[in-house]
Amino acid sequence: MKIIFITVLAGFLSLFGGDLHLFSVPNADGKLNAGVIEKALEANGFIISANSEMNGPFKIQFGESAFAQFNLLTAFHKNLSESLVKTHPDGGIFVPMGFGIYQRSGEKEFHVSILSAEAMAKIAGFKAPEFALIEKEALSTLKKALPNAKVTMSETALPAAGALLSRYVRPSDAKSWAADKEEVEMMIEDGLKPAGFVMSNFTDYNFVLGEKSPFDFYDTYSICKLKVIYTVAKTAPEAAAFAPCTLMVYKKKDTDEIVMGFPGVYNWMSSARVSDPEGKAALLQAQKDFEAVLQSTIE
């Protein structure tokens, strides 16, 4: 009786949906791929930051891959992201946002995963109308690119075991910010490689914002750790929507601080329901290593 109750309860909770939009579409002939998604996004107001094919790296480092295709595509909506970041600077953790693209070997379906607007607001710690607008544009684009897709929500997220946004602040003023920026970013870049992180993309977002930018600088790094992606993909490939992780580093013109932040790995464990010991261990180690890199910039 207890087992039946738990099963029914789990099914009931799943009706509420989770944090990820999941697209699944027949693709036995393999004609659908990350290039199709990239082209569709570019045609609908998005700027592509990176489209990283992961099967090659998987096979080189681990000797095999369980996927026919596995791509980490990151992009941001040009107009909506600008509006978001100007009103809510921490929104830069989604500039770019992730599109997980995958199909297992021998599988006949192609998949894409992205975060919901509610999940973005939960992670960022604030509500903004741009989240829903970005979600609307992303969903519309994917539905056009994948007209035969079945679209569902992931299962209800697990309780978060830690902070969803890891945020660090370093004092800086009008006289020293340029030198501080150089030092901070040098320490970040120097600290990533020894810890096993790879930077797949760097965006000078202040350049995109132009002369009327409210920031002295605004940079975002797309950062991933191959072991984490490979390990988590075994049980939760939809978590690719969180990879690469976007690290924001910025200073507003009217403040005396440099802000750094990234979505913590607790999002993977909560939203993508990563609960297997191997996956959790890889994620928690990555969180510890990433935090150590940023902590060094403010000590």
Residue 28's pLDDT is: 96
| Banded model confidence at residue 13, pLDDT cuts 50, 70, 90 | very low
Is the pTM here over 0.95, yes or no? no
What span, in angstroms and rounded, lies between the C-alpha atoms of 154 and 158?
Answer: 11
Helix-, strand-, coil-residue percentages of the chain, each rounded to 5: 45, 30, 25
Q: Is the peptide bond before 96 cis (omega within 30 degrees of 0)?
A: yes
Q: What is the dihedral of CA 10, 15, 21, 26, to 10 degrees?
A: 90
The string of pLDDT tens digits covering residues 126-172 is 999 999 999 999 999 999 999 999 999 999 999 999 999 999 999 99
Q: What is the CATH number of domain 17-298?
A: 3.30.310.70
Token pair listed for 12: 């009931």
What span, in angstroms and rounded, lies between the C-alpha atoms of 239 and 216?
Answer: 33
What span, in angstroms and rounded, lies between the C-alpha atoms of 62 and 230?
Answer: 9
Residue 58 pLDDT > 70 = yes
Where in 8-115 does DSSP place strands (E)? 20-26, 46-53, 67-77, 97-104, 109-115
What span, in angstroms and rounded, lies between the C-alpha atoms of 13 and 196?
Answer: 37
What span, in angstroms and rounded, lies between the C-alpha atoms of 227 and 223?
Answer: 13
At which residue do the structure tokens 């960022």 appear? 124
The string of pLDDT tens digits covering residues 71-106 is 999 999 999 999 999 999 999 999 999 999 999 999
Beta partners for 114? 21
> Order of strands, edge to edge, in the sheet holding 257-263?
165-171, 257-263, 245-252, 215-224, 198-204
Residue 6's pLDDT is: 34
Which DSSP letter does residue 120 get?
H
Token pair listed for 238: 């939809």
Backbone angles phi, psi at 88, to 5 degrees: -135, 90
State what percent of residues in the chain have pLDDT above 70: 95
| Banded model confidence at residue 7, pLDDT cuts 50, 70, 90 | very low
Residue 16's pLDDT is: 54
More confident residue, 14 or 213: 213
How far the first Cα of the chain sits from its last, in Å, is: 56
Q: Are the beta carbons of 150 and 23 closer than 8 angstroms?
A: yes
CA atoms within 13 A on the CB side of 60: 6
Per-residue burial over 118-137, b = 16 or more CB atoms within 10 Å of its CB, e = otherwise? bbbbbbbeeebebbbbbbeb
